[in-house]
Amino acid sequence: MPSQPAASPERPRERLLAHGAQSLTTPELLAIVLRTGIRGASAIALGRQLIEHFNGLRGLLDADLRTLMAQPGLGLAKACELLAIHELNRRALAEELRLGQALDQPQRVKHYCIAALGHLKVEHCLALYLDSQYRLITSEELARGTLTQASVYPREVVKASLKHHAAALILAHNHPSGVSEPSQADLALTRHLKQALALVDIRLLDHLVVTANSAISLAERGQI
């Protein structure tokens, strides 16, 4: 019986089937999603170019639809597939937080918030509502724009927390500038929100300041 020919290094789907997804490089995995390349570049070469252009895989998956479609070889269908991968990753992280205690997995909380907020070009504020076991109930956007007490109303956060039957809450917002140091407005909002939630016996566990690649915890710094 003749032996089967070895899978070509330029055929990542066959390599995945033969050896598993973990055996492929990142450009090869992207090539499976992209399926086709462009004139003068294979799907793998296109994947490599995209990773270089966006300074890494996270930059690529964090890009919005218009930015993706501006790249040669990325039409509407491929751009939508990349956006779907990003959203699936965020939802998978949310599932992990629903199954386990948020206090026991601070890195997962940070990864979730980075996935949700790190790529945004305008400040967004996110609330993670937790049950009595500190598992995620749901997350909701509270505001967008410069974070102040004028944009995030403690009474509205309290009202939403009661609606979701939350026992605790984690606040997170992004700094598009890339500077993770909390501002005085961030600290003032944290204090007022903690006081407002305490009146209805809801605990503010943390306030995270998120950038594209990191998240600073005010709780870890003793500022809650």
> What SS3 class is residue 49?
helix
Report the run of H or E that residue 197 belongs to, with start and end.
helix 184-198
Burial tier of 15 (Cβ tally within 10 Å: 0-12, 13-18, 19+): buried
pTM exceeds 0.75, yes or no: no
How far is CA 4 from each of CA 17, 18, 105, 141, rounded to the nearest angstrom? Answer: 14, 12, 46, 54
pLDDT of residue 106: 81
Token output for 39:
């004139």
At 123-161, the pLDDT tens digits run: 999 999 999 988 889 999 998 876 554 478 888 999 999
Average pLDDT of 8-24? 83
Indicate the length of the chain as a whole number.
224
The residue written with tokens 């605790």 in the block is: 168
At 75-130, the pLDDT tens digits run: 999 999 999 998 898 888 888 777 776 666 788 889 889 888 988 888 999 999 99
Query: Chain-wide mean pLDDT for the chain?
Result: 87
Round to whole Å and give the CA distance between 157 and 185. 17
Q: Which amino acid is located at 215 in the chain? A: A
Q: Is 3.30.70 the CATH number for 12-88? A: no
Q: Do domains 12-88 and 101-217 have the same CATH topology?
A: no
Angle between helices 154-163 and 184-198 in degrees, nearest 10: 50
Residue 70 predicted with pLDDT over 50: yes
How far is CA 141 from each of CA 67, 93, 151, rounded to the nearest angstrom? Answer: 23, 17, 12
Return the CATH fold of 101-217.
Answer: Cytidine Deaminase; domain 2 (3.40.140)
Domain boundaries, the chain: 12-88, 101-217
Greater model confidence, 200 or 153: 200
Residue 164 predicted with pLDDT over 90: yes
Contact 26/51 with Cβ under 8 angstroms?
A: yes
